[in-house]
């Protein structure tokens, strides 16, 4: 760069606002398509376990018996596989990253899903035909003679 052009650029930069921001005093805005932390809408989850099975890093654990959904955010790589696989569309990406942490911890969310009651079995009819008794064994129909001794 020629010395004159360099002086011009320096003078211009002197009166311009800085290109950087004073983070963390001024937090940066996230881009619209930022894949941030995973959120769940507990009221729509039916504990189907698909997100648990599809997660490549095993960051999600679904406990059907205890009715909880747990995520280890330090294991999550924001791949979005759980969001795509969820049949109830209750998972989403928040447009921001997780806050920094000083120790490992997981987030456990209680799921209020109530499984549907089992369908009642159809009543059996009292007049159901009873099977006919087997004919008595006779020398003609007995297979005793064919059995090995």
Measured from the CB atom, is 9 or 94 closer to ligand SF4?
Answer: 94
> 71 CB contacts (<8 Å, ≥6 apart)?
38, 40, 59, 60, 61, 106, 107
How many CB atoms neighbour CB 112 within 10 A?
8
Please select the residue that binds ligand SF4; options are 36, 61, 68, 88, rule is CB under 6 A: 88
Asked if 57 is part of the footprint of ligand SF4 (rule: CB under 6 A), the reply reads yes
Task: Decide if 44 contacts 88 (C-beta within 8 A).
Answer: yes
Please select the residue that binds ligand SF4; options are 48, 70, 92, 95, rule is CB under 6 A: 48
Using CB under 6 A as the binding criterion, the count of chain residues that bind ligand SF4 stands at: 29
Task: Decide if 39 contacts 48 (C-beta within 8 A).
Answer: no
Q: By the criterion CB under 6 A, which residues form the site for ligand SF4?
A: 38, 40, 45-51, 54-57, 59-60, 62, 69, 71, 76-82, 86, 88, 90-91
């Amino acid at each position: 760069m020629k010395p004159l052009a360099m002086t011009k650029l320096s003078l211009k930069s002197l009166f311009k606002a800085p290109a950087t921001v004073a983070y963390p005093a001024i937090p940066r805005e996230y881009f619209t398509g930022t894949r941030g932390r995973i959120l769940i809408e507990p009221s729509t989850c039916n504990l189907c376990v698909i997100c648990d099975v599809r997660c490549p890093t095993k960051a999600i654990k679904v406990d059907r018996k205890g009715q909880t959904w747990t995520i280890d955010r330090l294991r999550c790589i924001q791949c979005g596989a759980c969001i795509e696989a969820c049949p109830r569309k209750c998972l989403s990406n928040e447009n921001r990253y997780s806050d920094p942490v000083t120790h490992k911890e997981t987030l456990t969310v209680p799921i209020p899903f109530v499984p549907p009651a089992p369908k009642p079995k159809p009543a059996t009819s009292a007049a159901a035909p009873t099977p006919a008794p087997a004919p008595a064994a006779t020398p003609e129909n007995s297979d005793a003679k064919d059995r090995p001794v």
